[in-house]
Structure 1
Amino acid sequence: MSLAISVQHAKKHYFQDVPVLRGVDMEVKEGSIYGLLGPSGCGKTTLLKCIMGVDVADAGLIQVFGQSTPCSAPLLRIPGPDIGYMPQELALLLPFKINELFYFYGKLNGIKNNDILKQIEFTAELLRLPDCERQILSLSGGQKRLVSFGASIIHDPRLLILDEPTVGVDPALSAKIWQHLVYLSTERGTTIVITTHYIEEARLANRVGLMRAGRILCEGEPESLIREKRKKILEEVFLELCQRDLQLECTDERFRKHSNDVEEIAPKTQSNVDRNDPGAANSNDSKHIINWTHLMSCIFKELIVIMRDVPLLVFTLILPIMQLSVGLITFGGNPSGLSIAVVDYDTSNRNESLSNQYLRYFGIGDWTDIKHCKSLQSGNNYVAIIYFLTGFTNSTLNKLNSSIKLPSEDASESSIQLTLDQGSPLIADLVVRKAKTAYNKLEENFVSKYNSNGALRVAAINITEPLYDRVNSLTEFVAPGTVAFLIFMSSTLFSSTRIIGERKQGIVERLRISGVSGSTQILAMIIVQSFILVIQVITLIMTSVIIFGTPLEGNLYLVILIVCLQGYTGIFLGILVSVICTEEAQVLQLVFGVMEMNYFLSGIMWPEESLPDFLKSISNYLPLKTPAKALRFIHLRGWGFKYSDVRGGIFVNVLYGTGFLLLGILLRKFRKI
């Protein structure tokens, strides 16, 4: 019987000084079951990753069916359809139905549609699974583990690797899994490698390897090892070997000898494999070619997961609209219903007094004259107090009548005294503007009626029509940049949390072992997220323009283009964030912190001219500032592509998006994730 797996003197270190594999030797015959036994952390999973070609040993030689892995030769594709893998985690797409999951993995591994349906029926019957139309999310823990096992054998692989398949399951389910393994080995000729730290259950294997601290202590048939060591059970054999190895380790003699023996052998790493080997020659080249079957399958996966994850869909589509609506309602509107107190000592008839006319111009209709000013100092929510002195009407008439020389002591009575609550500068400024506007109207009305001097009718400052469209409130200033900000943040959060979530669940690694490259998985996510992005952009722009009345003087398609580019910049930033962070909580802290600073420094909610000089220089390099400015100019000024500020909004997004994507790719390669 020929060898399916041959491992010779395999060594592997992490961070150069943490040994994981210490010269491992291992042989697995074709069509047999090999039990790799050992405690957690002894290097079993690392060894399997090297065998499957998703990791590379630092030294030694690893061959599968006579080829070095990774291998994409015509007769052997590992990672790919020639291997089936069941990780210790479930690594299941929970929104899928059972038959959809089997179809997905069957399609990934190149099975034709008709054959997939037959395989689904056969696998479901073999494992006695529940109704295949049931969603995986609704299954019990044991049923989910059987489904995970079924996904690893749906394409009838030559080599099946199971990493702790029976951990945490009841004895009945464990026995059922082993029954299927024996069937696959004896009836279908599948080579099986199973890792476990439950020693006794491995007695059903044809051969076992006992592993500790990165080394295989011994190999052999379970019953032969028990007889040879004169023990009753396999666990006692393993315990004796571990104790002996521990004693030798304490004296350090065996380690020195073993290390010297390994160094004497020329370490043959994967990079030293003969380049005439077709597997070695093709494995790397294939990574740069898009496999359209894999891409379409991953797009199918993304669509199913998103469409059936209702909370995620609501969060992605509805929450940005709610955030924009709340933001535009609560920020930037003109204050109304202000509580203003009036103290009128004017002795003229109230209906004919200029103080009464002034208050009407101010916008105060019915008002109550409050003479006791001390009562206003506490317990009331007045934003301003308007005082009219005793001779206000007569003194004002005399002042406006150029033919009468007004004594200085009377001129002071023509002044309106305004006391403001400076606790709210915005409201105080609004009251001052309204007060000046009302007095100008009062003056214009008097001059037009009673004074023939035309020079008095000409204002000292004549405010003409605005340069561009009139902005009626700060809300219209804020809205364009806020739309870009929400798209940017939403896209970043969506892409980063999706990637990290699937990586934590083991789905990313399982797909890699099925031959799906990381770039294909990310490309599929970008394609599906593009549809969501377009919907987000259109709904947010409609909400801003139609519901809240934000002016749109320029080209709508140009606005959509810039906001979509801002979304892609967010997607690529999310890819970079997914490399930096390992947990969703880290993503939330990083993204919200970065986005908050971007929002405040990019001149979205307040003019950038108000920033200190050193912050202005920083804000010029932020990914939101120039696009937000371009959107504001398109909305409020009607500018088009011929203006450099608008072109800058496009260029900055392309520059940052490309930079984030390239940096994310480089970091992914560096961290090997």
Structure 2
Amino acid sequence: MPQEIALYGEFTIKETMMYFGWIFGMESREINERLQFLLNFLDLPSQNRMVKNLSGGQQRRVSFAVALMHDPELLILDEPTVGVDPLLRQSIWNHLVQITKDGNKTVIITTHYIEEARQAHTIGLMRNGKLLAEESPQALLTMYQCTSLEDVFLKLSRKQVQVGANNDQNLTNNISLASLNWSKKDLVSVTEESGVVGLNFHQSKEVLVSDSNGHLDMNRTASTSNGIKEACDDCTNCSEFTTTGKLRALLQKNFLRMWRNVGVMLFIFALPVMQVILFCLAIGGDPKGLKLAIVNHEKNYTNLTYQSCDWKPGCSFENLSCRYLDAVNTSTIVKEYYRTPDEARDAVRMGEAWGALYFTENFTDALVARMALGKDADEETLDQSEVRVWLDMSNQQIGIILQRDLQLAFQNFTKDIFRACEYNEELAEIPISFKKPIYGSNQPSFTDFVAPGVILTIVFFLAVALTSSALIIERMEGLLDRSWVAGVTPGEILFSHVVTQFVVMCGQTTLVLIFMILVFKVECKGDIFLVIVITILQGLCGMCFGFVISAICELERNAIQLALGSFYPTLLLSGVIWPIEGMPTILRYISTFLPLTLATTSLRSMMTRGWGIGEPDVFYGYIATVIWIVLFLTISLVVLKMKRG
């Protein structure tokens, strides 16, 4: 029992006992019987009360009950009676004395309540990390002719100060237990706490656990959960706990923690849906309401508004500027008319328009002459027949869309005239024929290009966010160390999280793909099963990356910083929003070895090209993802084992 509570607040008392009981290999029936005894003995409230809703003293009693749950042969208790009322404290001590009478159990306690140590078989008085005395309470009282153990401690403390003032050597060399004729044991630095009493209940004459059971020195005794863990690591005859019970407990813990945390549940299932919806609504659509400043100096149309700019349909060559403007895409472009080119350009400079469009005074005549004369057209005719455009290219995407729409408008305008005059409208096309694309369409959607990478990015980094602090939170609560002590291995911890996250990944993947493919009609030509598999694998990869962060970082804020710090480099370098072919050569090689790069290429090939697993671009994505999963898991296991050891 460590000094901190080391329990999960979202569990009820019964669930807490079930968790540790299963870890210790107990059957559910046995746990329930033991639970009823502990509830009555420790005067605990209803077994259905959550730990977080208990008072501090009740929480400490639950922590004590956890230590007693499996009736261990060795109990190491750190401040078990802090915050406990006197009657219950006496009851606890009576119980501890009782269970040691048969000689089959050993209890080691650290406490600041020195007087309660009178019931111990052997006590150790410590100050400033040095063991001052180790003997039975009655022997110390007789030796120092004191009526209380507190007086004994005060005398020993004064003697320690006096000896320290006389000699700068280590106190161990000045006040040895041998010189005081208390014990022949070597002194060991135990703790930096002052006034701590180390207690040992044991009915044999050995002060500590005998060598035949695995020697346990005082340094380990006072190091709470870490000391217990080290002792068990050295034990050769420890009981073997059922793996099934431990996995059952760990899986229940993970699922209950998620289920009872509304914020986490919303984060798991609502956030990916919201991100998909926002992506599909905000990315890939053509801009609307782009203002275009128009100046039309055609004959008799100096003060035009668009509505009064008349033109005759059919094979007519009058007011061609108005006919062209009518062909401009009005869903994208908003036409605003100005008197002079200077005014139109000033509007662009002031940010009032995205571009300026200018028609010369004899635009129609010059354009007709240009078509009629062909190669014989003079410079003035060519100059007067041009539609002059000044664009604001500070926003490249908007500038390119305006260029596209103005060029398409002129192409459609020319085709309409040729068709009305019974000419071959193909003459209006440039002499480059773009046939039906092998993959994709003649009007590609940026959404279709980005969607595969966005799907994987959402799933990957949501998994990172979920797991990057999981182990840190358990470590800070003390629950992780307590699980180590109970015999849980790093592999079992990681396996339980993998199973839990796999279930989450299935739900997240289903929601993301339903909204992306079925609701927003993102193109998916490939096998939907392969799409689901690569998405889930990427989620597992993100989860394993989160474990690496959680294992390495000691503080939650450091884990958050590392997770956020990895987001943008991965997003920018993985070809999600821009082809990696546009990167410098060195950066392309770096990008290839990132977790999302090959997987994004694989998913994009399946969704837009309809390729199967036999294609290298698809196959490599799966292989790379599996390699990253194995690598991240290996790193996590190594780090956890190092920290546990």
Question: Which TM-score band applies after superposition, normalised by the shorter structure?
Answer: 0.7 to 0.9
Contact 2:141 2:152 survives alignment (8 Å)? yes
Equivalent position amino acid for 1:211 in 2: M
Q: Which residue of 2 aligns with 1:547?
A: 519
Q: Which residue of 2 aligns with 1:119?
A: 34
Contact 1:508 1:518 survives alignment (8 Å)? no
Larger RCO (CA under 8 A, 6+ residues apart):
1
Q: Which residue of 2 aligns with 1:464?
A: 435
Greater mean deviation of Cα atoms: 634-643 or 177-186: 177-186
Rounded to whole Å, the distance in 2 between the matches of 1:354 and 1:573 is 63
Which of 313, 320, 326 aligns to 2:272? It is: 320
Contact 1:555 1:640 survives alignment (8 Å)? yes
Gap runs ≥5 in structure 1: 1-85, 264-269
* Per-residue Cα deviation, 1:393-445 (whole angstroms, up to 9, x for no partner): 12112212257953321221110011111221111111111111111222223
Equivalent position amino acid for 1:103 in 2: M
**Post-superposition offset of 1:481:** 0.6
**Post-superposition offset of 1:589:** 0.4
* Per-residue Cα deviation, 1:78-119 (whole angstroms, up to 9, x for no partner): xxxxxxxx2111111211111222222223223333332222
Which of 492, 504, 525 aligns to 1:520? It is: 492
Relative to structure 1, the CA distance from residue 166 to residue 345 in structure 2 (aligned partners, 3 Å threshold; closer, same or farther) is farther
Contact 1:401 1:451 survives alignment (8 Å)? no
Relative to structure 1, the CA distance from residue 140 to residue 337 in structure 2 (aligned partners, 3 Å threshold; closer, same or farther) is same
SS of 2:608's equivalent? helix
Rounded to whole Å, the distance in 1 between the matches of 2:114 and 2:44 is 27
Q: Which residue of 1 aligns with 2:97?
A: 185
TM-score by length of 2: 0.82
Rounded to whole Å, the distance in 1 between the matches of 2:185 and 2:92 is 38
Matched, 1:667 2:639: yes
Relative to structure 1, the CA distance from residue 561 to residue 448 in structure 2 (aligned partners, 3 Å threshold; closer, same or farther) is same
Q: Which residue of 1 aligns with 2:204?
A: none
Q: Which residue of 1 aligns with 2:197?
A: none
Rounded to whole Å, the distance in 2 between the matches of 1:108 and 1:533 is 26
Which of 391, 403, 414 aligns to 2:385? It is: 414
SS of 1:193's equivalent? strand
Relative to structure 1, the CA distance from residue 262 to residue 615 in structure 2 (aligned partners, 3 Å threshold; closer, same or farther) is farther
Equivalent position amino acid for 2:327 in 1: Y
Rounded to whole Å, the distance in 2 between the matches of 1:216 and 1:563 is 59
Matched, 1:351 2:310: yes
Which of 151, 162, 169 aligns to 1:252? It is: 169
Q: Which residue of 1 aligns with 2:193?
A: none
Relative to structure 1, the CA distance from residue 320 to residue 202 in structure 2 (aligned partners, 3 Å threshold; closer, same or farther) is farther
Rounded to whole Å, the distance in 2 between the matches of 1:96 and 1:620 is 44
Greater mean deviation of Cα atoms: 137-146 or 348-357: 348-357
Matched, 1:434 2:351: no
Relative to structure 1, the CA distance from residue 235 to residue 523 in structure 2 (aligned partners, 3 Å threshold; closer, same or farther) is same
Q: How does 1:14-413 map to 2 (within 5 A)?
A: 86-167=1-82, 169=83, 173=85, 176-186=88-98, 189=101, 190-249=105-164, 250-252=167-169, 255=172, 283=236, 291-347=243-299, 350-352=309-311, 353-364=319-330, 367-376=335-344, 377-378=346-347, 381-402=352-373, 405-413=376-384
Greater mean deviation of Cα atoms: 415-424 or 294-303: 294-303
Rounded to whole Å, the distance in 2 between the matches of 1:604 and 1:655 is 20
Q: Which residue of 2 aligns with 1:52?
A: none
Relative to structure 1, the CA distance from residue 174 to residue 628 in structure 2 (aligned partners, 3 Å threshold; closer, same or farther) is farther
Relative to structure 1, the CA distance from residue 284 to residue 191 in structure 2 (aligned partners, 3 Å threshold; closer, same or farther) is closer
Relative to structure 1, the CA distance from residue 326 to residue 458 in structure 2 (aligned partners, 3 Å threshold; closer, same or farther) is closer
Rounded to whole Å, the distance in 1 between the matches of 2:484 and 2:411 is 75
TM-score by length of 1: 0.79
Rounded to whole Å, the distance in 2 between the matches of 1:101 and 1:454 is 80
Greater mean deviation of Cα atoms: 648-657 or 155-164: 155-164
Matched, 1:446 2:412: no
**Post-superposition offset of 1:159:** 2.2
Relative to structure 1, the CA distance from residue 253 to residue 502 in structure 2 (aligned partners, 3 Å threshold; closer, same or farther) is closer
Relative to structure 1, the CA distance from residue 458 to residue 151 in structure 2 (aligned partners, 3 Å threshold; closer, same or farther) is closer
Rounded to whole Å, the distance in 2 between the matches of 1:335 and 1:286 is 69
Greater mean deviation of Cα atoms: 659-668 or 559-568: 659-668
Equivalent position amino acid for 1:140 in 2: S
Greater mean deviation of Cα atoms: 408-417 or 154-163: 154-163
Contact 1:568 1:657 survives alignment (8 Å)? yes
Q: Which residue of 1 aligns with 2:558?
A: 586
Rounded to whole Å, the distance in 2 between the matches of 1:605 and 1:217 is 68
Rounded to whole Å, the distance in 1 between the matches of 2:518 and 2:362 is 51
SS of 1:102's equivalent? helix
Contact 1:493 1:587 survives alignment (8 Å)? no
SS of 1:317's equivalent? helix
**Post-superposition offset of 1:511:** 1.5
Equivalent position amino acid for 2:57 in 1: G
Which of 604, 610, 613 aligns to 2:585? It is: 613
**Post-superposition offset of 1:195:** 1.0
Q: How does 1:578-657 map to 2 (within 5 A)?
A: 578-657=550-629
Rounded to whole Å, the distance in 2 between the matches of 1:458 and 1:307 is 62
Number of residue pairs matched by the alignment: 577
Relative to structure 1, the CA distance from residue 492 to residue 672 in structure 2 (aligned partners, 3 Å threshold; closer, same or farther) is same
Contact 2:214 2:234 survives alignment (8 Å)? no
Equivalent position amino acid for 1:251 in 2: D
**Post-superposition offset of 1:181:** 2.8
Equivalent position amino acid for 2:593 in 1: Y
Relative to structure 1, the CA distance from residue 662 to residue 487 in structure 2 (aligned partners, 3 Å threshold; closer, same or farther) is same
Contact 2:415 2:425 survives alignment (8 Å)? no
SS of 2:9's equivalent? coil
Rounded to whole Å, the distance in 2 between the matches of 1:280 and 1:597 is 42
SS of 1:603's equivalent? coil
Q: Which residue of 1 aligns with 2:459?
A: 487
SS of 1:251's equivalent? coil
Relative to structure 1, the CA distance from residue 285 to residue 472 in structure 2 (aligned partners, 3 Å threshold; closer, same or farther) is farther
Rounded to whole Å, the distance in 1 between the matches of 2:426 and 2:530 is 49
Greater mean deviation of Cα atoms: 118-127 or 514-523: 514-523
**Post-superposition offset of 1:281:** 10
Q: How does 1:522-537 map to 2 (within 5 A)?
A: 522-537=494-509
SS of 2:107's equivalent? strand
Equivalent position amino acid for 1:351 in 2: D
Relative to structure 1, the CA distance from residue 431 to residue 284 in structure 2 (aligned partners, 3 Å threshold; closer, same or farther) is farther
Matched, 1:567 2:519: no
**Post-superposition offset of 1:191:** 3.0
Percent identity between matched residues is 29
Relative to structure 1, the CA distance from residue 512 to residue 451 in structure 2 (aligned partners, 3 Å threshold; closer, same or farther) is same
Which of 459, 464, 477 aligns to 2:449? It is: 477
